[in-house]
Amino acid sequence: MSTAASAKNGTWRNWGGNVTARPAREVTPASVDELAAAVRKAAEDGLKVKAVGTGHSFTSIAATDGVLIRPQLLTGIRNIDRDAMTVTVEAGTPLKRLNMALAREGLSLTNMGDIMEQTVSGATSTGTHGTGRDSGSIAAQIRGLELVTADGSVLSCSEKENPEVFAAARIGLGALGVVTAITFAVEPVFLLTAREEPMSFDKVTSAFDELWTENEHFEFYWFPHTGSTSTKRNNRSTGPEKPVPQLQGWIEDEFLSNGVFQVAQWVGRAVPGTIPSIARISSKALSARTYTDIPYKVFTSPRRVRFVEMEYAVPREAVVATLRELKTMIERSGLRVSFPVEVRTAPADDITLSTASGRDSAYIAVHMVKGTPYQAYFTAAERIFTAHEGRPHWGKVHTRDAEYFAGVYPRFGEFTALRDRLDPDRRFQNDYLRRVLGA
Ligand SMILES: Cc1cc2nc3c(=O)[nH]c(=O)nc-3n(C[C@H](O)[C@H](O)[C@H](O)COP(=O)(O)OP(=O)(O)OC[C@H]3O[C@@H](n4cnc5c(N)ncnc54)[C@H](O)[C@@H]3O)c2cc1C
């Protein structure tokens, strides 16, 4: 497994390198019983508990000074139910392994995010999503969950069994228990045709509603300091399969998207004044392409340039106004932003603290390459996002607290009441949860 989070000299570090923690001890349980015993032992020792995935969150949501539970030995497929069209996987399974195993079985998830390095439990716990008109986040595809709660007991939930737990625990922020297995809805593997095309910022923003309506999965990247975007439309296709040829794929995805992009980021970091020119050149270098492949090969791609990210969900109807404000802010601020801004969508879902809970949403993500100061940019962007009642991704940089969340999530109290019931002694608490959920 690509465990981004490292633990040198007892220090745990996330993928973005902006969060570190020193757990009192680490455990790597190989079974649900061992995991439950680790939770009970932590309680006896008066220690907090935190299960981690691969450390791909940019917030300190996975950090702990207590017992850190590693996922490596809780992996693999437990069961595939072809009548119900579901798959049950161990919580530490990387998405990549799940996607590849499903493809071998002729099955697939319906929708997914940009990468597949994360564990299934880590990804769903923070509401990881891709883009979709009709299909939502990875957590929205969950049909059942098993978790070890604070007293060390095992609790199963679904729409029918403990539905009040199911409503919240699909995006549980690691606050309700340690997830041990997840049952996802699956469907027969299908083909998607991806159409990537440069488009001007003015065109994409004025035609956004049409582009969203006409495509199952629409997203775009806007290059700050330019009027250019790169759009991507993914739609189901009857085939034939037409993958990106290997060499072309290497040139476009590895060399151009990762390699040249990396060099451009280095130059931009060393000489920030060059960023607008680099942005203009790199946005022009993009060309159109179309390919058809199975879902995970179309939705996901490797990200080798390390960065730090903030992402907010705003009501979908507010996305164009929000983006225009962001563009104006960057133009007037003197900020030098070398990383594209990503825009995606999700339909409303019924998960208590999902960023798309009860409202059709659009996501706007701002990034800065690792090692460059991001506070000024993110602070100014966050001011714009929160003015539109934005809800930050739980795993990406933000400064919001429980008081703010009580205002933007109508069901916030439902989540905290459930946490009071399942974890009265705050066994799963850390500084991040204290801030976003309250003491
Ligand atoms: C390069 C990159 C690309 C990304 N792309 C996307 C994207 O396309 N879309 C998107 O929405 N996000 C994206 N993200 C964010 C990322 O998907 C989330 O932060 C995700 O939560 C990371 O998963 P992880 O396995 O690394 O979990 P971690 O970051 O290690 O943990 C996240 C949370 O899950 C909890 N957790 C982990 N395992 C368990 C368990 N067994 N039981 C209970 N709680 C648990 C942790 O305690 C913590 O609260 C990206 C991040 C990076 C670095």
Higher pLDDT among residues 146 and 255, named by residue: 146
**Which amino acid does the sequence have at 428?**
F
pLDDT confidence of residue 42: 98
State which ligand 1 atom lies nearest to the alpha carbon of 124.
21
pLDDT confidence of residue 304: 81
Global pTM value: 0.95
Does the Cβ of 429 fall within 6 Å of ligand 1? no
β-pairing verdict for 228-237 and 289-293: unpaired
Averaged pLDDT score across all residues of the chain: 93
Does the Cβ of 93 fall within 6 Å of ligand 1? no
**Residue 250 binned pLDDT confidence (cut-offs 50, 70, 90):** low
Q: Whose CA is nearest to atom 18 of ligand 1?
A: 57
Q: What is the mean pLDDT of residues 71-75?
A: 97
Higher pLDDT among residues 275 and 24, named by residue: 24
State which ligand 1 atom lies nearest to the alpha carbon of 56.
26
CB 24 within 8 A of CB 65: yes
Q: Which range, 210-219, 303-312, 367-376, has the best average confidence (pLDDT)?
A: 210-219
**Residue 4 binned pLDDT confidence (cut-offs 50, 70, 90):** very low
Phi-psi region of 10 (alpha: psi -120 to 50; beta: other; left: phi over 0): left
**Residue 262 binned pLDDT confidence (cut-offs 50, 70, 90):** confident
What confidence tens digit (pLDDT) does each residue in 173-194 have? Answer: 999 999 999 999 999 999 999 9
Higher pLDDT among residues 285 and 17, named by residue: 17
Determine the Cα–Cα distance for residues 96 and 119; give it in Å rounded to an integer.
8
Does the Cβ of 126 fall within 6 Å of ligand 1? yes
Nearest to 221 by CA among 282, 132, 290, 134: 282
309 CA distance to ligand 1 middle (Å): 13
**Residue 41 binned pLDDT confidence (cut-offs 50, 70, 90):** very high
Q: What is the mean pLDDT of residues 47-60?
A: 98
